[in-house]
Structures are given as C-alpha cells and as structure tokens.
Chains A and B, each alone.
Chain A
C-alpha cells in the first residue's frame, strides 16, 4: 500500500468515511495510479489488460462482504477516465462503496470520469454508496463526470446512494439502468451546488421485466449562482411500478431545472412522477428560531436534514 499524504487521507475520509484501511476487498486509486489493493476469497479485483480500469468479480453466494474503491486526485491538471466493471454473482448480499475526492490547489483543471458498470446476478442484493467531494482553492476546476450502468437480473435488487455535497465545479452524471423480472432498484440522490457550479444529473431507468420496480428520489439544493439540471426518466415496458421524485430547494440566485419524465409501453406499467422546487419556508426558519437557533443555524439544520 502506497503511503497517502494528508490531503489524500482527508479526501478518503470525505468520500468513503474511512480512517484506516478497510476490511475486505478494496482498490485505492491516487493521482492516476494504483495505491493499494486487497482481494478476498470471494471478491477478486483485477486490472483490465489495457490498463483502462478494473474488473471486480464477486462469487455466487457471497454475503455480508464489502468492496471499497475510492479515488483521490490531489495533483492539479490531472485528467483521467477509468472503467470499473462489477460482476456480482447469484444470491449475493454485498456493499460497494465508491467515491472520488478531488483537491485542486493549482491553476489547471482536474477531472475524473469514472464509468461504472454493474451486472447483478439473480436474487442478489447490492447496496452501492457513491460520494463525490471537491476541495482546494486554486483557479483550476474540479470536474467529475460519472457514468453508471446497471443491469439487474431476475429477482435481484440494488439500493444506490449518490451523494455530491461540496466542492465539485462541474459534473455531468449519467445513470442508465435495465431492470429484469421481479427486480428492484431504489436510488437516493443528494446534490448540493454552490458558487458558480454546474451540475447535470440524468437518469434513465428501463423497467423491462414483469413485476420490476424502481424508486428514484432526488433531493437537491442550489445555492449562490449555481445551476442544476435534474432529468429523471422511467420507462415501463412490462407490468411494473415506477416512481420518480425531484425535490429541490433554491437559495440566493440558484437555478434548478427539474424534468421528471415517464414513458409507458405497457398498459399495466404504473408510473408516477413528482417534482417540487421552492425556497426554505419562512415558517421552518421561525420555528427553529423559537427553539433558540439563529437564522443561520436554522438554515443549516434545515439543509442538513433535507440532505440527510
């Protein structure tokens, strides 16, 4: 394991809640190179032959194991595209934690584009947590453009938590999922932008198998002069259930475009969408102020709760 510097350690703490080397399988990537890897009897991680990324293979029946694949960039001007493919066998129950932290103190843009593909086998359950974080006060931008592709086979399920709260200047997030018979996908997205940041988050979930279901919930806050586009689409091609919800708060001069959409190809596709954008309600601030908080503290509590 390569020794991480203090900035890299801080980034890892932010994106993976890790203070030490995690238990189980992991693959650490720092400034464009491998910084550490561990495999287990059930989880294998190997570099792709062309060096473009990694393959993670999880054996049938693997339960209560986890894979961490954090990435940190602390060198200004670094641009990389990484392909990570996850092959989850049958009847597994695993947690996958990915995340990228960028610290850019320099004048050149730093960019990490992670392309993650998940192939989840029959009757398996995956919990996937992805956190993105940026820091540093250089003029160079911190750019993250993650692409996530999910294929859920019969009877499988996946819960995804996608969190980007701070410091990323520009992001284009794209998530595409195909859901098989009786499979279920639940996505919770949390997004906060500030300064001059721009974020676009696009989801397309295709409910292909009978009795498949999807629940996409995005909660976001746009502060200062930031801009967000949230485009959450569910396509129903069989008897299925889909729900998509964008719930947003705008502050200062923030702008949010929310486009939840539904496309039904089957008469028994039950699809629902909701969207709401508003400011922090005055009554919420007043209530917390009557409990002794200042206006600023009240605002922080409301934001923390909303993004929790």
Chain B
C-alpha cells in the first residue's frame, strides 16, 4: 500500500545542507502494523511528516496504493486515506471536540457516533463532547482526542508520531490498550507508529530501525525485536515499575 523509493530529505543548517533522511527505501503491505524506532534525532518524526505531506522530500518518490503522491498536498493525501496523529496535539480555541470529530469524519456527525469514537479512546463522551480542544485539557486527554479524530477518518493508512510523548504513566497504560484494540481491528488498513516503547514494539507486525537518517534494520517483530531489548530503541515506560 505504501512504498518509499530512494527518499532523501535535507534542510538548510547555517548555510550548509544537512541531510535528515538518506536514500530511504521502505515497503508497507496491507493490514500491517509497522513500528519505526531508533535513537532520538534519527529522522523518525521527519519520516512521519513526509508520509503525511507536511514535509516534501528533497528527492525520491512516495507511492500510495500504486499512485505517485510525492507532489500531493497534505489535503490531497488526507482525501486519499492517509491520517496523521501529531506528537504534540494541536489546541484550538473555540473548536469543540464534537466539531473536530465532525471535521475529521468529513460529514455531519451525530452526537452518538461522535460519542462512540470517544468511548473507543476511553473518554466518557458526555464529559467531553462539548468541551473546547484548548489548554483546559490535559496532555493525556488531548492525546486521546487526537487518536479519536484519526479513528473518525477511517483511513487506509494511519501514522502516529510518538503517541507516548508527553503523557503520564497511567494514560500510557490505557494508550497501549487502545493500540492493541486498533491492531486487532486493522482490517483493510495499515498503521505506522513512531515509538521506542517496548510495549508498542511488542504489538508490531514489523519493526524498522531508523538511525542517522538511514534504515538500519527492517523485518518482522520476531526477527528484529530480540536485538533491540535493553537498547535506546526499546525502552520500558519506567524502569522502576518493573
């Protein structure tokens, strides 16, 4: 469903080009959950943003269901079925949770359907449906609403950029449950999660390790995971909780 061919991305840094992604090749099949891990600064978030169209590659090609989407805008990619969950969910003054879910679903959304998305991410719909997506919500609440907006899109491909970032441990435990349930119901879609949490790596079908802008390893979980345990690429949520 998704294929990256020789994708490179560089930025201007103090007058000199700095390469963030180097000649990346990656294929993701239908009904697969791929977790991309690797050290901080290795280019993981950039890869996620390149797939969503927020950044355009300096060179290379991106194919989605056989179509070359390299030059398509964020909106066009969204309309073709690519969803993206932000690492830092965006806040909106005045836009309610219901409104955001309505926009995400692309149609007039009944309160009961909106509520079903919120229930899936473990929020009591009644308490949240009319709340503004603003600074009054906690990091964990925003994260779950972010995931609910992605669920409401019913996308072919969903990309999560470090979903565990900025949330507390209790919320993290619940987040894992949400991903486990999404994995079970994956059907005609695929997911990419950028993460170095071992519990997320554990539910992957495939794991790719990205370091210094290059894919160092890519294979099935069984193949890759054992070699990652105890490294920066597979961290426990908290060592003391072991």
Which residues of A does B touch, CB under 8 Å? 219, 247, 281, 283-284, 286-295, 301-302, 304-308
Tell whether, in the assembled complex, residue A283 and residue B74 are in contact, meaning their CB atoms are under 8 Å apart.
Answer: no
If the complex has contacts A291-B149, A291-B153, A293-B75, are A305 and B52 also in contact, measured as CB distance less than 8 A?
A: no
Instruction: Give CA–CA (A219, B134) in the complex, Å.
Output: 15
A295: contacting residue among B75, B94, B99, CB under 8 A: B75
Tell whether, in the assembled complex, residue B93 and residue A305 are in contact, meaning their CB atoms are under 8 Å apart.
Answer: yes
Q: For the complex, is B103 an interface residue (Cβ under 8 Å from A)?
A: yes
Main secondary structure of the interface of A (DSSP, over half): helix
If the complex has contacts A290-B74, A301-B103, are A307 and B94 also in contact, measured as CB distance less than 8 A?
A: yes
Q: For the complex, is B78 an interface residue (Cβ under 8 Å from A)?
A: yes
Tell whether, in the assembled complex, residue A290 and residue B94 are in contact, meaning their CB atoms are under 8 Å apart.
Answer: no
Contacts of A306 in B (CB 8 A): 93-94
Which residues of B does A touch, CB under 8 Å? 52, 54, 73-75, 78-79, 83-84, 86, 88-90, 92-96, 99-100, 103-104, 106, 149, 153
Contacts of B79 in A (CB 8 A): 292
Give the distance to chain A from B104, nearest Cβ to Cβ, in Å: 5
If the complex has contacts A305-B93, A307-B94, are A288 and B103 also in contact, measured as CB distance less than 8 A?
A: yes
Contacts of A292 in B (CB 8 A): 75, 78-79, 103-104, 106, 153
Tell whether, in the assembled complex, residue A305 and residue B90 are in contact, meaning their CB atoms are under 8 Å apart.
Answer: no
Contacts of A301 in B (CB 8 A): 95, 99, 103
Instruction: Give CA–CA (A306, B95) in the complex, Å.
Output: 7
Tell whether, in the assembled complex, residue A294 and residue B94 are in contact, meaning their CB atoms are under 8 Å apart.
Answer: no
Contacts of B84 in A (CB 8 A): 290
Give the distance to chain A from B129, nearest Cβ to Cβ, in Å: 15
Q: Which 5 A-B pairs have the closest CB atoms?
A: A305-B94, A305-B95, A289-B74, A292-B78, A287-B90
Give the distance to chain B from A252, nearest Cβ to Cβ, in Å: 20
Contacts of A287 in B (CB 8 A): 86, 89-90
Instruction: Give CA–CA (A305, B93) in the complex, Å.
Output: 7
Contacts of B73 in A (CB 8 A): 289
A286: contacting residue among B54, B83, B93, CB under 8 A: B54
Instruction: Give CA–CA (A294, B74) in the complex, Å.
Output: 9
Closest residue of chain B to A292 (Cβ to Cβ) is B78
Contacts of A304 in B (CB 8 A): 94
Give the distance to chain A from B210, nearest Cβ to Cβ, in Å: 21
Give the distance to chain B from A280, nearest Cβ to Cβ, in Å: 10
Tell whether, in the assembled complex, residue B90 and residue A294 are in contact, meaning their CB atoms are under 8 Å apart.
Answer: no
B93: contacting residue among A247, A288, A289, A294, CB under 8 A: A247
Give the distance to chain B from A291, nearest Cβ to Cβ, in Å: 5
A284: contacting residue among B90, B99, B106, B149, CB under 8 A: B90
Instruction: Give CA–CA (A28, B105) in the complex, Å.
Output: 43
Contacts of A284 in B (CB 8 A): 90, 92
If the complex has contacts A281-B90, A284-B90, A301-B103, are A290 and B52 also in contact, measured as CB distance less than 8 A?
A: yes
Contacts of B92 in A (CB 8 A): 284, 302, 305
Instruction: Give CA–CA (A302, B95) in the complex, Å.
Output: 7
Beyond A292-B75, A305-B94: 6 further Cβ-contacts under 8 Å?
A219-B93, A286-B90, A287-B86, A287-B89, A291-B103, A292-B79
Give the distance to chain B from A165, nearest Cβ to Cβ, in Å: 14
Tell whether, in the assembled complex, residue B78 and residue A291 are in contact, meaning their CB atoms are under 8 Å apart.
Answer: yes
Closest residue of chain B to A302 (Cβ to Cβ) is B92
Instruction: Give CA–CA (A282, B79) in the complex, Å.
Output: 20
Give the distance to chain A from B38, nearest Cβ to Cβ, in Å: 23
Closest residue of chain A to B83 (Cβ to Cβ) is A290
Instruction: Give CA–CA (A278, B54) in the complex, Å.
Output: 22
Instruction: Give CA–CA (A283, B99) in the complex, Å.
Output: 17
Contacts of A247 in B (CB 8 A): 93
Instruction: Give CA–CA (A289, B79) in the complex, Å.
Output: 9
Contacts of A302 in B (CB 8 A): 92, 95
Give the distance to chain A from B88, nearest Cβ to Cβ, in Å: 8
Instruction: Give CA–CA (A295, B78) in the complex, Å.
Output: 12
Give the distance to chain B from A220, nearest Cβ to Cβ, in Å: 12
Q: B74, B83, B89, B95 — which one has the most chain A CB atoms within 10 A of its CB?
A: B74
Tell whether, in the assembled complex, residue A289 and residue B75 are in contact, meaning their CB atoms are under 8 Å apart.
Answer: yes
Closest residue of chain B to A276 (Cβ to Cβ) is B93
Can you pick out 5 interface pairs between chain A and chain B where the beta carbons lie within 8 Å of each other?
A283-B88, A284-B90, A284-B92, A286-B74, A302-B92
Instruction: Give CA–CA (A53, B106) in the complex, Å.
Output: 49
Contacts of B99 in A (CB 8 A): 301, 305
Instruction: Give CA–CA (A291, B89) in the complex, Å.
Output: 13
Give the distance to chain B from A161, nearest Cβ to Cβ, in Å: 14
Closest residue of chain A to B78 (Cβ to Cβ) is A292
Give the distance to chain A from B134, nearest Cβ to Cβ, in Å: 10
Closest residue of chain B to A308 (Cβ to Cβ) is B94
Instruction: Give CA–CA (A287, B74) in the complex, Å.
Output: 9
Instruction: Give CA–CA (A291, B95) in the complex, Å.
Output: 14
Contacts of B75 in A (CB 8 A): 289, 292-295
